[in-house]
Amino acid sequence: MDNGGATFGGVSFASLGLLLTRANIPLLPETIQTEEELEGLDGTVDVETRYGPRLIELEVSLITEDEASYQIALQQMAKVFNARAGVRPLILDRMTGKRWMCKYNGRIPIDKIASLGEFTLPFKAFFPFSESVTDSMTQLEYGLGYSYGMGLRYETPPAFSVTTSPTLRTLYHAGTHETYPVIRLVGAGSNITVSNTTTGETLTLNLNMVAGDVLEINCAPLEQTIQKNGSSALSGVNGTFPRLVEGDNNISISGAGLNMTVSFIFRHTYLY
């Protein structure tokens, strides 16, 4: 039994009068399998495997002193778990170094709450993987909630000066699932290439930057954008937006007239 607590969107369960008694989180999300049948062939051909959203169920008890405080607690709960507010971080006290980005999904029969004082809060994580509670630009230190077994290293944040071509760096991703960084370039350069030679992914940027320019590359699928000083700069871009895989990733930055600082901003991402 899980006797710990949790926070959702920065609000502790304890402040709502809730006690988390059990957290049901599947070891892996449900698979979405693509298969093909071929004439004359037994079985099927495994074409692709993807993961669907992860459903999380939290069994809780509502603890109040009287009926009036009970009704107030219900009112507060409805506000905190309002699904229209969008996805927010769910952090369990038993694993304070990880967050699940999710939102309330389902229904809680009010008569069940009233009669038993115990009920299940259903959540859906559309992005089905857990993430570190801070991003890579936060220096690791005691008190952030991280625990042994997450694979984290006490390293300086991944921001470095680039004045020669190519500039090579090794970036470490502790998570067990790939992560997609935001790459921020500040300074001058042209015909810039960003490569992760570990994965073989290269992005070429046929543009010019001068001192003070800020270029941000969001590598996340469905969010892939490139902005220069706040405006879209996707024209003249070729290649593949690079990701980071588990372990060491060998990064190469090349181009002409480079005098910039490059930062890789990401969260360590885990299958569980």
85 and 197 share one domain: no
User: What total of structural domains would you count in the chain?
Assistant: 2
> Residue 109's domain is classified under what CATH number?
2.40.30.200
191 and 120 share one domain: no
User: Per the domain annotation, does 133 fall within a domain?
Assistant: no
Range of 72-76, 138-142, 144-148, 196-200 with top mean pLDDT: 196-200
User: Per the domain annotation, does 150 fall within a domain?
Assistant: no
Last residue of a domain, one of 108, 128, 148: 128
Residue 140's pLDDT band (boundaries 50, 70, 90)? Answer: confident
112 and 189 share one domain: no
Whether this model's pTM surpasses 0.85: yes
80 and 178 share one domain: no
User: Per the domain annotation, does 75 fall within a domain?
Assistant: yes
170 and 114 share one domain: no
> Residue 231's domain is classified under what CATH number?
2.60.120.860
| Contact present, 121 and 108 (Cβ < 8 Å) | yes
Q: Are strands 182-196 and 201-209 parallel, antiparallel or unpaired?
A: antiparallel
For residue 148, pLDDT over 80 is answered with no
114 and 167 share one domain: no
User: Per the domain annotation, does 64 fall within a domain?
Assistant: yes
238 and 197 share one domain: yes
118 and 229 share one domain: no
Tokens of 53: 């959203």
pLDDT score of 115:
56
pLDDT score of 50:
94
172 and 101 share one domain: no
| Contact present, 227 and 213 (Cβ < 8 Å) | no
Per-residue pLDDT tens for 63-117?
888 888 888 988 999 999 999 999 999 999 999 999 999 999 998 877 666 656 7
* Domain residue limits at 117: 6-128
Last residue of a domain, one of 128, 151, 169: 128
Residue 2's pLDDT band (boundaries 50, 70, 90)? Answer: very low
Per-residue pLDDT tens for 228-246?
999 999 988 999 999 999 9
pLDDT score of 116:
61
188 and 79 share one domain: no
Last residue of a domain, one of 113, 128, 143: 128
Per-residue pLDDT tens for 175-198?
999 999 999 999 999 999 999 999
